Structure 1
Amino acid sequence: MMRILHSLPRTHKLLLLPVATMVTVLGAQKVFTTFEDVQRDRQTLDTVLVPLDADASPGLPALSTKQDAVSDALAKANRALDATRGHVPISALTASEVVDIDFIDAARANSAESAALTAASSPADQEAVEVARLDEGAQHMAVVVGTIAAGMLELDDGMVADATSYEDVSEDELALFDEGPIVLDQEIVATEPFVPQWQTYSVQSGDTFAIMAQEHLEMGYSEVMALLDSLPEPRLLTHWRVGDHFEYQLDEQGDLLALRMMKNARDGYLVERQDDAFEVATIERAGEATQRLFAGTISGSFARSAKATGLTSAEVAELSSVLEKKLDFRRDTRRGDRFQVLVESDIIDGESLDPRVLAVAYEGARMNLTVVRNPDNNRFYTPEGASLDPAFNRYPFEGRYRLSSHFNPNRHHPVTGRISPHKGTDFAMPIGSNVLAPADGRVEKVGNHPAAGRYIVIRHDNGYKTRYLHLSRPMVSNGERVTMGERIALSGNTGRSTGPHLHYEVLVNNTQVNAMKVSLPDNQSLQGDRLVAFQRQAKPMLAALQSGQTGSVVASTEQPAADDDEG
């Protein structure tokens, strides 16, 4: 019914408003009864004959009602229809009774035509009532009125009038639109574009990638080999373990579009099909930087005690490499020493990756040490800006002494005359002259050798080693910590020596180099603006060490480790 109402021309909808009000409330028994009679008599729809009483006045037959509101609605409808026949001036209508002017003109023309036809008819025909020829829009409106009345209004006896279609449709016409039942889900799927979805495959016992790819990814053997050849690390697919998994995408035909596999939570590879080849891109996931604070007490070895706090093996290794420049774990640590470590790492899927030691505080019986990482160069400094990698003096003594023999890999031996490389630098020094440590470090060896005489080996904080031969008296012992400028020995003439002198060697990566030409670190301590910037960045890390709280996650344990002497 709504479809019929929407199909009406705008002007006829306006005319229908007062009429529809009357029909909805009372019904138009006269109208739809006459219309049904016309249909039963198989008259055409072009002309509708409405029988009127001899004393009928223009307008619709009055219907009995007991309500004033209904009477008003009916009166308005009658006046609107009378205006269409010319019996009431248009100017006499109220705003609610206004009708389309074009429709009124057409109605008047039809009324004149009907009057002329009646005058020319025979007396028998004149017994029929006035014939009203409706134009197409008016006919459409009249049928709608009848349909509304038939479907919605009750008759006097309480029965509901039958609704009906007013235009026949042939089977041939129906066949043109017969597309079968419409299934909404199927219609939606049919119109949506195909979007490949990521699927996950978990490795089962006995799986091989070659067989799996042929059965699940619609790949031929040659394609499988080409894919493996394109991977930088084919072991990710050829050396499977049960529980490993990877993700893949298929196209509409079920062929492989893309393959995604991860080595760990951060790194992996994305393989995409491009025409007949495979292109590989690396995947690197960004994690959330998280700080964690660990606190522990020395009980046994430092490594075991550090791991008891919850630090991973990688974190313990980095912590040890930081502290070993100043701390001898075998000699300087004592049971009961306390330490705190601030570690930052990237958290991805609950896994800690790329741990970085930010700050360390060690409180011990023999040493107190606090160091903080400088983010500008990733080196560690004390809160005052002193570096763990101090400067390195070129000469291991004060004053000036003659260089009696240079570093020379092709030197001739002074006694035999044969090629005998000289891998150190000799300084002619009186016996008993002071020998000083050129940089901070730890004594690695104090010994005596038939050729070298009494000697000392020191490992320095920057990784270099120094050796001192032909000494008269060592002033340090094995494992002792030394600082730059500290007296470590007295020069002499022990071992195979042609005269009093100091044989001095510098070793880089355990290989002797020319001590007079090797690149040595300058003073690494921070000064000026660099020191101010470092202390500003170190402030929150030092506060975390002191308070036991960080900006994100804090993990603190103090579980005693097993008592052992492992380093």
Structure 2
Amino acid sequence: MLRILHSLPRTHKLILLPVATMVTVLGAHKIVTVIDDNGGNSATHQITQDVGDSHSSSPSLAGNALDTLETVTTRDIPLSELKAQEIVDVDFIDKAHAADNTVSDAPAFETQASSSLATSALESAMQLLGSFSEDEPDDGTLGGTSYGDFSIDPEELHDPDGSPELDREIAAQQDFVPEWQTYTVQPGDTFAVTAERTLGLGYGTVMNILDSMPDKKVLTRWRVGRSFDYKLDEDGDLLALRVMKNARKGYLIKRKSPADDFNVSNVTKATEATQRLFAGTVNGSFTLSAQSTGLSSAEVAQLTNLLSKKLDFRRNTRTGDRFQVLVESDMLEGESLDSRILAAQYQGERMDLTVVRNSANDRFYTPDGQSLDPAFNRYPFEGRPRISSSFNLRRKHPVTGRISPHRGTDFAVRTGTAIESPAAGRVIKSAYQKNGAGNYLVIRHDNGYKTRYMHLSKRLVEEGDRVTMGQKVGLSGNTGRSTGPHLHYEVMVNNSQVDAMRVKLPENTSLEGKQLAAFKKESKPLLAKLESDSDTPAIASVRTLNENPGDEG
């Protein structure tokens, strides 16, 4: 019957609810009445009486009678067999429970059957009413709730080897220990909303925290996927908040008890220096070959820029050339940070090159102390962009046809390209010329040469600043009298402009004396690590070294 009701539409269920409920109650009442009163329904009474007479001599009379009774009373009773009662007594549940505690002359199996039937009738009614619940899911699945008494003795749920009273006593004596929890930023999250929902902070408290932050962008500019840590007390109030600016540095925000004021302090996570050795064989592009060893994009860029100072990749590299590179990184929670090359070796058909970093000045030298960096770089930036106009003292003006010397070199670079100092020196001019050079710089270098940079979009140094080789001094642009974005670059020797692309530049410097001795002592273990892999062919192989460079003599 229940299966039929479940298959009906919701509207039909509501219409049939009164009828179904009445059928269930009357059926249960009819069965209980038969058991409680032997003079009730004659048909059922006759069945039970016949069973008793036919098995009067059997030792299992009560058991057989109970089986027969269950067979009769659990079958579906048609509506036509039900007899209307003048007064319907729906309090049959109390009667069934009362029968359990009252001494009666009825046989034991009749009392047991009465209680079982009453419980079955109640469960059927509950299932029927549950099928008409307003919370029924739209997908047709059934739901429900419990109305029974589940107050079970704790002894039944507890470990038999333990004591519930002891556990409750221990739990009461334990002190609450706040623990760090982590929240990952989701799309649409803001600090104000998250502070209210997750941290339980009010608007005033949020503003107090923001006012106390040295860098408000850490809280106001969140990125999806980033996370922060927080700690709550026993009442759910915020105790501390830890927000990182990057993988290494961040802020710790701690509550001043009991007020809503907070202290902000800097946090720096400790890192561990780890050395890794990568070895590979050139197969086609050097960049792709280096990436196949496991080097990151940033590490490959470092290696390429380093070797390109002596190695022309277009002319000198050949398939089968081998290379090794020793990289040191700061490891933090399994992540590699601030990778730097300690030593590199290239063994090729047309060129062999080995370089080692000198920690004294952070520059690279060959094993015999020859500097890899020139005393004066040819180009004032990384790479070699196209020259749009060369140095030419006999250049003619494109409009007037007159001789209009071009005393510099123009590089076709996009606005915002970083300009680097070609050598160490001091800035002697940093200014703006409206109808001429625009934003421009002049640097006097230690070897006596001067360089000038025109049409910059931004100047990054001021007059009197000391600059080093490779330091960014400005950004290219299109200021002043210019026909498009580019860099006008001049090199002056004895205050006269020369062709920067042809002039002989100062040679690189070498280490001597104590500096050379210290460098060789430092480079010896690094070179040994490179050589340890040089005798074994390796393609895209990665090797991690656990030695700490600080432990090496």
Task: Specify the TM-score bucket, using the shorter chain as the normaliser.
Answer: 0.3 to 0.5
- TM-score (norm. length: structure 2): 0.43
- TM-score (norm. length: structure 1): 0.42
